[in-house]
A and B are shown apart, each in its own frame.
Chain A
Amino acid sequence: MLLGPALFVSAALFTLGVFGVLLRRNAIVIFMCVELMLNAVNLTFVALAQRLGVAGQLFVFFVMAVAAAEAAVGLAIILAIYRHRGTVNLQNINLLKG
């Protein structure tokens, strides 16, 4: 019975996450927006797990593990970039071309 509202909230949060990624230039904030999207998806999983069985919640578990790993590596990369370029503003990070 909460499935519909939960999916709606999830869609709203996911869109906000995408919007934030597109809106900001600060790498750390963008990273946080990505976490927001992951959480939106988690909400979908949990909502569906109510009816589809426990597998949905297990997926959330795995997503959290991946998010933790991703946060560790991602933040380390940001650190390295900062050390290298002196900024985490994406406008100044334009090395990704041949």
Chain B
Amino acid sequence: MSWTLIIFWAFAGLAIASALCCITRRSPVASALWLVVTLFSLAALFVLLDAQFIAVLQVLVYAGAIMVLFLFVIMLLNLGRQGPTDVKGPLGVGVAALLGGVLLFQLWILRHVAPPDAIQLPPSSMARLQQEQGLVGAIARPLFDTYLIPFEITSLLLLAALVGAVVLAKRKL
């Protein structure tokens, strides 16, 4: 087993375990913190998968900005202290387990689906691209070229979200 694979499984296990904690902890703050662990682990997996730039973004945007926003709201609503559990009763757990199991089963079946022909690219194509154009350049070129219009529209989306958040959160306009 190569080192890469060992590291991969280490972070994968961490991600899954912390995600499990995230959904089971009673306190929202604890959940949020466990989610941060998951996001960091994912960032590590991204690095292993030749997506260093995305990994940086993951840390900056998700673990940094979004999760801070979560914690901020939790504290704003004063939900940090231990309250009565919000986990559903036995029936709810049963339903959730059943549906989750079905989903997992379905995804497991997908394993047998033959991959499309397009996946038969050489495994190292992404790495070679990054060697040619640089880590950021490999992503930035298509972003400002092929995907320019979606990229610009993203700014509109963020603007709308900005205005929407202000409108919703403000007591009186």
Of B35, B88, B168, the residue contacting A35 (CB under 8 A) is: B35
* Interface band, chain A: 35 or more
Given contacts A13-B15, A25-B87, contact A35 B66 (CB under 8 A): yes
Shortest CB distance A93–B (Å): 12
**Complex Cα gap A64–B43 (Å):** 13
CB of B7 to closest CB in A, whole Å: 10
Instruction: Name the contact of B142 in the complex, choosing from A15, A17, A55, A64 (C-beta under 8 A).
Output: A55
Q: Does A53 contact B (CB under 8 A)?
A: yes
Residues of B within 8 A of A22 (CB): 88, 92, 95-96, 99-100
Chain A at the B interface: mostly helix, strand, loop or mixed?
helix
B157 touches A79 (CB 8 A): no
Contact flags A68-83 to B (C-beta < 8 A → 1, else 0): 1111110111111011
Q: Is the Cβ of B168 less than 8 Å from the Cβ of A51? A: no
Shortest Cβ distance from B127 into A: residue = A50
B88 touches A68 (CB 8 A): no
* Complex CA–CA separation, A53 to B66 (angstroms): 28
6 A-B pairs with C-beta separation under 8 A:
A14-B103, A17-B19, A35-B62, A47-B49, A60-B57, A69-B161
Interface residues of B in 108-164 (CB under 8 A from A): 108, 118-123, 125-127, 129, 138-139, 142-143, 147, 150, 154, 157-158, 160-162, 164
- Nearest chain A CB to B2's CB is how many angstroms away? 9
Instruction: Judge whether A32 and B62 touch: CB under 8 Å.
Output: no
Q: How far is the CB of A42 from chain B (nearest CB, A)?
A: 7
B window 17-47: CB within 8 A of A: 19-20, 22-24, 28, 31-32, 35, 38-39, 42, 45-46
User: B9, B15, B69, B77: which contacts A72 (Cβ < 8 A)?
Assistant: B69
- What is the distance, in angstroms, from B12's C-beta to the closest C-beta of chain A? 4
Q: Known contacts A2-B48, A19-B23, A42-B42; decide if A54 and B69 are in contact (CB<8 Å).
A: no
